[in-house]
Structure 1
Amino acid sequence: MNRAGKIDPPFEEIGKYYYDNPADNENGEFDIVTKDEKGWIFYEAKYRKKPVTDAMIASEEQQVNKSPLHAYDFGFFSKSGFSLSEKHTEKLYTLEDMYQKI
């Protein structure tokens, strides 16, 4: 999708990110982190039988906000889709989204 120009803005770098801060007893691991002209986007991939919920999104965003890197946006990949009771501005992708023709 990035190469096809379907991500705005396109990301320049992609990887996994983790941090460990033993002094404050905090650590975190993030499945996918991209960098673009605006900064960092953190993505979490959920390969569960149950859809991603509002509570899961809130929990992951709290963890990201504790990390040393500042994220300007968040995204989620879900094998089983989403079960959300409120509107979300995060980038949300299902398994089907990943395998559609570009």
Structure 2
Amino acid sequence: MSGWRLMQGDTLVGELHAEGCDMPWFRYRFAPGPGWERVRELFERLETTPSGPDPEPKLRAAVAVQAEELRLVAVGFDEPDLAVWRGGTCLLIDGDAARLRYSVPGGL
């Protein structure tokens, strides 16, 4: 099965197992790993911060996740590692559901 490992350094934060696609988002089932509790609250804040005319609160929530220097490592397919909330890679996690939007540098 293809998917991603969400990593922080050498620590497994969780695994994303492919479920489908709602362009431009890919849908995954999220399984927490040993490092999840360290960042769980940041992802919850990102998910629950309302989007609206003032983008600043949502931006602050994304920057907080970005500061954790998380990366996605492909499992079952050949794709470069993706830095979370950098370079167009957006990752949202809500309970056991995850949504990922990304572009590969030099891609289509």
TM-score range, shorter chain: 0.3 to 0.5
User: Under a length normalisation based on structure 1, what TM-score does the superposition of the two structures give?
Assistant: 0.34
User: Higher Cα Rg: structure 1 or 2?
Assistant: 1
Higher relative contact order (CA 8 A, sep 6+): 2
Q: TM-score, normalised by structure 2?
A: 0.32
